Every structure is written in C-alpha cells, then in structure tokens.
Chains A and B, each alone.
Chain A
Amino acid sequence: MAMSLLRALAQNAKPTIVSLSTIATANLQKVSANHLWDGVTSVSNAGKKRGRGRNAKKRVDLNRGQRLGIGKSGLVYPGLTGPALVGKEMLSISEKKEGQESSEAPRVEKRTRFPKIPALQRGYSGRKFPGTSIGPPDPINDYEFEGFDTRVLEYKMVSHMTGNLGRKMRVSALVVTGNGKGLAGFAVAKAPMGKAALRKAKNMAAQRLQYFERYNDHTVFHNFAVKEHKTTLFVQKMPKGHGLVCHRVLKTICQIIGIEDLHVKTEGRTGNIQNVTKAFFRGLMEQETHQQLADRMQLNVVEYRPELEWLPLPVASPSCGKSRDEPITEEAFDFENMYYQDGKIPLKKQKDPMSRYTKDPVQWKKFLQVHRDRNQVMARNMRIIHGLEPTKEEIKLRQKPLK
C-alpha cells in the first residue's frame, strides 16, 4: 500500500498537499473559540481533585484591544464605523480624517500579585513586616507627631483556643516609635487583622514615650550590661563614625532614638524580640550621665580623645565647684568596666589576626603571594605620578624574547 502511494507521489505529487490544507481549515471553521480553549484548558472533575490543571494555560482574549472596522489604514466604512447617509446621499468608503481615535484601545497595565518594593523600604527579610516603616503615629486631638517614625520590630500570628471557635488566630505586633532626637517608645498590640494590630501598637507606643539622654547626640554615656530573663545585652560606647554594630532589632531602635555609634553583644535568647527590646530600653533608662557621675563621686570626669592628641578635656565637673581632695587609689579602677554588675566583666577573647591564613595551606599560599606584592600597586601609582612607568609600547618590546 505504502509503496503504491509513494509511486503515485513520484508520478504526480500535487493533489495530496492541496487536499490536506483544505481539511485543516474546514475543521477550524466548525468549532467555536470556546470549544478550542476548552480543549486546552479544561480538566475533568476527577482530575481537578488530584490537583491537575493547576499550571494549565489560562484563556487569552485574542480580540482584546481590537475594534471592528478600525484598522491601521484608517479607512471609514459607512454604516459600520461612520454614518451611512449624509442627507439623502450615500457615502462611499473614504480615508480616515485627522483627529480620529486610534485603532488600539489603551493598554491595561498588567497587575502583578507582588509589586516591587524599593530596597530601602524593605524590611529585614523578603516581603515581611519586621524592619519596615509604618509612618508617624496618628494625631491626638491637635497634636501631630512631627518628625516621628515608627518601625515594626515583630509581627507574628498568635492563637488561643475557645470552646466555640476552636483555635482563634490573632496578629501580634511589636513596634517602636520615636523622633530620632532621644524620644522613643515601644508597645505590643494584638488584633484579628494585621493592619489593625500595627495601628493599635503604633498609637499605644506614642503614648509610652521616654526621653533618653545621649552623649553628644550620638552614643550612650558608658558601657553597660543589662539582662531580661534569659536575654543579656553588653552595650559598648563607641566613637563618632563607628556606626551601629548590633542585633538588627537594636539597630532599628537606635535609629529611631537617634543613637549613631554603638556596639552591642547579645547573649542568650536573642530571638525573643520583646525581651531584647525591653532590656535595651531599661538599660538606656538606667544610664548615669557624666554630670551625675561627677556629682556622685565629687570628681572631674575627664575625656581623652585620640584625634585631639589625647588632650585631657573635662566633660563634667562637680556642681559644687570643686572636687574632693583624695584621688581614686584603687588600682583596677577603669571607667570602661565601671558599670558592670557584681564586678563581672565581659570576656574579650584575643584572636590571632593571622589564624585565617595559617590554618589552611591554600590560604597560606595566597597570603604569601599577596604579602610579596603588597606594595606593588602603590609603587606603580607613584611611578605613574612621577612619569617613571614605561609606556605600553616599551612594555611590549620588553616582553619580546631576546634574539
């Protein structure tokens, strides 16, 4: 059979191809678009239960954005896209006039499920709330919270069991609000809906504002350690320009309060955000300013700054005008460790700066290479500045083998 067909084709190849194309078009004319789409997109009921067709193609309206009778050429068809009669005269097909609407309907912007958030407005992680700003608290009567900002620190689902409803879910939000000039407060609030919880917490935080004194508006007055249940914070005063090196929640709180330079070592339960926040606020509140220290000890508090050649500059003197006569004789006395409780001082482990190279032979080899060439970049720059670096042509010449 096949052999005879091939032979027929070899003798007269035309008629078979023509008949195939006619069959295809004839079939398309018989079924509707809906029918065709059903064939591509539909899944049986039994299939749906098994989760089929989840990734099937969605129906596309191929006629969207098109209008009958309006095309690119801009012809006017009387009776279809324009009036058929003017008076008693019948119009014929004519050219499009100036100022007529275009053939394409305005394109609708595709709505994405997750619109992109600018990087600076994102929180700590992904599309989650913690770390994001939710604006200043709502005004109370006529008082507007100018210059205030609120940040979410914790946002989580909490539940309890009821006899009637079973597990009842609510949203719990911890937020901190402040003006960046020492004034700040925090609050936890719960509500069935997330937005309500955030609003409630924000406005509650605005009613629990505390004022924190800051040293030169940039850091704390002294090192301190503070503990809340199993969460411990070791806070260290830092010089201007150091920045915030701490738990991300503490960093957010510092930004809201207006502390710029700080180092905090967190120990214990650092994932318990509520305790971390509580501890930090309590620690800041219990600080002693330099003036209070000077008055308590009846001594001058003197600061030695490296950028001022370690010049002794008194930052606070006793209010009575003169200090006590006997100096501090205790040998181990150190301002750095003065405020740790019970004489417990945080352990500072000495780390060998070379350890990252010496442990691994590959790293050690790399170190030796870098160490050998460590001045080469600088030296080359100096040669370029003084015009001693050879030109590109000369370098090429030098690279050629000697003959």
Chain B
Amino acid sequence: MAASIPFRLQNSLSFINETFLQFVNLKVRHRSFSSCSKVLFASSDVKAPSSPEGNNERDPFPMFVDSRVQDILSRITGFDILKVAGPHKRHLEKPKYKLLTDAELKGEMAIAKERLSKRLQIPPFMNPRKPNLTPLAVDPDLAHFDTSSYVFTDVTFGIADRDRSVVVRETDGTLRVAPWDVKDRMNQIYNPREGKEYLKPQMFEERNLERMISEKNYVYILDRACCQFEPDDPDFIRTTHRIYRAVDEAGDHDDLRSTRHFGSLAFYLTWHKMADLLLLDMLNRDLASDAKDLVRLYTILHPDSSCAASLSQVSSDSSAAQVVQVYIDTASTLRDELQLALQAMEDARKADRNGLKK
C-alpha cells in the first residue's frame, strides 16, 4: 500500500489489516469509544489560567519555533553536564577505565557534551489539536454492513507517525478521518515506540497526578508525558501545564534546570504573563543574564505590552539590572519582592568586586 493510493482502493487492498484491526477494535471497542468521547471532551476542557489577553486564541507554536526564542530558551536552560547525565537507574555494569592524555580527555569530553546536549531538545509548545469531524465520504448503501467500525491504516514503510493516514468506515457507512486517539493507537500498533503504552497510563489521571506532584516527581512525569503523548495532545498539554504551575507555585524551578523541560516551563510562564516567581528565583540565584533573557523573551512574546514599549527605548547592550528594572516598573505583579531581590543581587556583586580589588 503506497501513501498515494486513494482510500477507496485501500479498502480492497488491505483486507489482512481489516481483519486484524477489526479484532483489535472488537477487543477494545467498549473501552475505546468511551475513552474517545472523554478525550474529545477534554480537548475543549483544557484549563489554562485566565489571562488578560485571552492567549488561548493565539497560537504559540510560530513564536516557539522563532530562532530568537529558541536561543533564549536553550541559554537559560543551562548545561550542567553531571545533571544531564544524571544517575539513571539501570542494570549493574562495571565502570570502564582509561588512561588518557590531556588532549585525549578534552576530545572525549567534547564528544560526550555533544552527545548529551541532544538530551535538551525542548518539546514543542502547541495549542491542543482539534477533532476533524467532516466526513470524507458518506455511503448510505453501506449502512449496517457490520456491527463494528473498520479502521484502515496506511502502513507504508518510512511514513512518519504524524503523516500516516488512518480512516474509519463507521457502521452507518460514513468514511471519516480517524479520531486522534484511534490514530495514536494504530500508530502504536504498527510502529511501536519504546516507553509508550497502548492505553494511556493511569498516572496521568487527575488523582494520581496530584499525588505525584505532591511527591515532587516533576521530571519523571514530564519525561513520561513526552514519551506517551504527541505535543499537541490535549492530555499532554493538560499534564505539562499542571506540572509547570505546580513547579512555579512550589518554587522548584531549579529542579527543571539542565533538563529539556526548563525551556517549556519558561515559555509557558512568560506566555501566560506569570513569570515573576521564575524571575525572582533567577535573581535569588544570581543568574543576571538569565533574568535579562527572560525579560527579552517577555518582550518577544508580548510585543504590544507596555514593557516591550519601554524596553525598546533602552539600548540593547544595557546591563541586566536595567532591563529587569524596566520589567519591574511596567509588567511585574510582585514589585516589592523583585525590587528587593534585585537590590540584594546588586549589593552582593558590588561587595564581591570590592573584595577582589582589596
């Protein structure tokens, strides 16, 4: 079956698929349809915090892939190589030892850094996908041909999961593009991915998620969500946004530094204009350039805001303190705390400089 073959032709060609899939469908029919309706419902139900500009309508994805934004996000993520490598649970194995010259060691280190930097690819920040309800064809003659729907999947070698065509012939004879959850399951059947499960793991249920949040297993949940869901899956968006809010409220921003999720966290908080606690954390940790980058990110994501307007008058090579000061004056909601933290950071830097001079 090639991708170019029209769907009607596929119907007759993929008989083997049909029988197998019918079996699959029969097996999970009861369950899948209930979960399907749930997911569809959830997509309209994604709770984003109320924002003054109604950001739900704006699409964040074009902004997210902007090279300026990507640069800032990867810069503020940081790269603590020991944390990226992090002790992972795995089978016991003996460590290896080598005797290297300084030059060799440098080379090995560079290779390892390049290898590990790929771990920090930020998952795309997208709006939830919408169900495609328009039927491809309606054939009333085929109505009640069977008691269950038939799913047809394009299994041509080399097609990406997102581009794969999956259609459903329903019992009333309507042919339509498969609902997203059916498509995800078909993809997992024909192109199984390690770490992804056929049915949505129970840990993403509301009650289990809250328990895991209270245990502060942020990185584990986020990693698992990246494995299980597409980035525009409403479940992915609901889960990750819930974690980002929990991290922000608990002030555990540092847990996500040097992981692939810090960029998403910063983008989410800035996009919804609630980055004050993150900025405070940066100032408290003496990360002045990160704080400056965060304010720059704010002006890129909200070009119409008063902060962007007043920052455009400040020269681009001004110090971090000046840039943050503009943000505090125009856009901050935690004015006093931020002002205090900024002052403390400045004082500490001055004291350090004086100490060096002496």
CA of A388 to CA of B105, assembled, Å? 54
Which of these binds chain B: A53-61, A162-170, A322-330, A350-358?
A322-330
B101 touches A312 (CB 8 A): no
Also in contact, A304 and B98, with CB within 8 A (given A242-B92, A386-B202): yes
B31 touches A312 (CB 8 A): no
Also in contact, A239 and B116, with CB within 8 A (given A308-B86, A311-B81, A314-B105): no
Give the residues in chain B near A302, CB-CB below 8 Å. Answer: 97-100, 105, 108
Give the residues in chain A near B92, CB-CB below 8 Å. Answer: 239, 241-242
The list of the 8 closest CB pairs from A to B, nearest first, reads A335-B97, A299-B99, A309-B85, A306-B93, A304-B96, A312-B108, A308-B85, A311-B85
Contact count A vs B, C-beta below 8 Å = 94
Also in contact, A299 and B100, with CB within 8 A (given A242-B92, A311-B116): yes
Give the residues in chain A near B98, CB-CB below 8 Å. Answer: 301-302, 304, 312, 335
**Interface residue from B31, B95, B96, B101 paired with A386 (Cβ < 8 Å):** B31
Q: Which of B262-307 contact A (CB under 8 A)?
A: none
CA of A382 to CA of B26, assembled, Å? 18
- Total interface residues on B, CB under 8 Å, equals 31
Look across to chain A and name the residue whose beta carbon is closest to the beta carbon of B201.
A385
Name B's A-contacting residues (CB within 8 A).
Answer: 28, 31, 81-82, 85-90, 92-105, 108-109, 112, 115-116, 199, 202
Q: 12 A-B contacts, Cβ less than 8 Å apart?
A: A238-B94, A297-B99, A299-B100, A299-B101, A301-B97, A302-B99, A307-B87, A308-B82, A308-B87, A314-B105, A335-B97, A386-B199
Query: Separation in Å of the B317 CB from the closest CB of chain A?
Result: 36
**Interface residue from B31, B94, B109 paired with A388 (Cβ < 8 Å):** B31
Contact with B along A313-353 (1 / 0, CB 8 A): 01000000011111110000101100000000000000000
Query: Separation in Å of the B82 CB from the closest CB of chain A?
Result: 7
Give the residues in chain B near A299, CB-CB below 8 Å. Answer: 99-101
Give the residues in chain A near B99, CB-CB below 8 Å. Answer: 293, 297, 299-302, 328, 333, 335
Q: Which of B87, B103, B105, B109 has the most CB of A within 10 A?
A: B105
Give the residues in chain A near B199, CB-CB below 8 Å. Answer: 382, 386
Query: Separation in Å of the B170 CB from the closest CB of chain A?
Result: 23
Give the residues in chain B near A310, CB-CB below 8 Å. Answer: 96, 112
**Interface residue from A239, A293, A307, A323 paired with B102 (Cβ < 8 Å):** A323
Give the residues in chain A near B87, CB-CB below 8 Å. Answer: 307-308
Query: Separation in Å of the A324 CB from the closest CB of chain B?
Result: 6
B31 touches A325 (CB 8 A): no
CA of A304 to CA of B103, assembled, Å? 17
Give the residues in chain B near A323, CB-CB below 8 Å. Answer: 100-102, 105
Also in contact, A307 and B101, with CB within 8 A (given A386-B31, A386-B202): no
Query: Separation in Å of the B38 CB from the closest CB of chain A?
Result: 13
CA of A303 to CA of B81, assembled, Å? 15
CA of A118 to CA of B108, assembled, Å? 54
B112 touches A311 (CB 8 A): yes
Query: Separation in Å of the B277 CB from the closest CB of chain A?
Result: 31
A303 touches B97 (CB 8 A): yes
**Interface residue from B28, B88, B101, B115 paired with A300 (Cβ < 8 Å):** B101
CA of A300 to CA of B109, assembled, Å? 13
Give the residues in chain A near B85, CB-CB below 8 Å. Answer: 308-309, 311
CA of A302 to CA of B92, assembled, Å? 19
Give the residues in chain B near A122, CB-CB below 8 Å. Answer: none
- Total interface residues on A, CB under 8 Å, equals 37
Look across to chain A and name the residue whose beta carbon is closest to the beta carbon of B108.
A312
Give the residues in chain A near B86, CB-CB below 8 Å. Answer: 308-309
Give the residues in chain A near B81, CB-CB below 8 Å. Answer: 311
Give the residues in chain A near B28, CB-CB below 8 Å. Answer: 388
Give the residues in chain B near A326, CB-CB below 8 Å. Answer: 101
Query: Separation in Å of the B207 CB from the closest CB of chain A?
Result: 14
Query: Separation in Å of the A121 CB from the closest CB of chain B?
Result: 30
Q: Is A127 an interface residue (CB 8 A)?
A: no
Q: Is A237 an interface residue (CB 8 A)?
A: yes
CA of A335 to CA of B101, assembled, Å? 15
CA of A309 to CA of B105, assembled, Å? 16
Give the residues in chain B near A265, CB-CB below 8 Å. Answer: none
Look across to chain B and name the residue whose beta carbon is closest to the beta carbon of A243.
B92
Look across to chain B and name the residue whose beta carbon is closest to the beta carbon of A385.
B202
Look across to chain B and name the residue whose beta carbon is closest to the beta carbon of A242.
B92
B95 touches A239 (CB 8 A): yes
A327 touches B97 (CB 8 A): no
Query: Separation in Å of the A122 CB from the closest CB of chain B?
Result: 29
B95 touches A305 (CB 8 A): yes
Give the residues in chain A near B105, CB-CB below 8 Å. Answer: 300, 302, 312, 314, 323
B104 touches A307 (CB 8 A): no
CA of A306 to CA of B97, assembled, Å? 12
Look across to chain B and name the residue whose beta carbon is closest to the beta carbon of A240.
B92
CA of A311 to CA of B97, assembled, Å? 11
Query: Separation in Å of the B323 CB from the closest CB of chain A?
Result: 35
**Interface residue from B96, B104, B112 paired with A327 (Cβ < 8 Å):** B104
CA of A327 to CA of B106, assembled, Å? 13
**Interface residue from A304, A309, A333, A382 paired with B95 (Cβ < 8 Å):** A304
Give the residues in chain B near A382, CB-CB below 8 Å. Answer: 199
Give the residues in chain A near B103, CB-CB below 8 Å. Answer: 325, 327
CA of A56 to CA of B143, assembled, Å? 97
Give the residues in chain B near A301, CB-CB below 8 Å. Answer: 97-99
Query: Separation in Å of the B95 CB from the closest CB of chain A?
Result: 5
Give the residues in chain A near B96, CB-CB below 8 Å. Answer: 303-304, 310, 335
Query: Separation in Å of the A345 CB from the closest CB of chain B?
Result: 16
**Interface residue from A297, A309, A325 paired with B116 (Cβ < 8 Å):** A309
**Interface residue from B97, B115, B116 paired with A304 (Cβ < 8 Å):** B97
CA of A324 to CA of B99, assembled, Å? 11
Give the residues in chain A near B94, CB-CB below 8 Å. Answer: 237-239
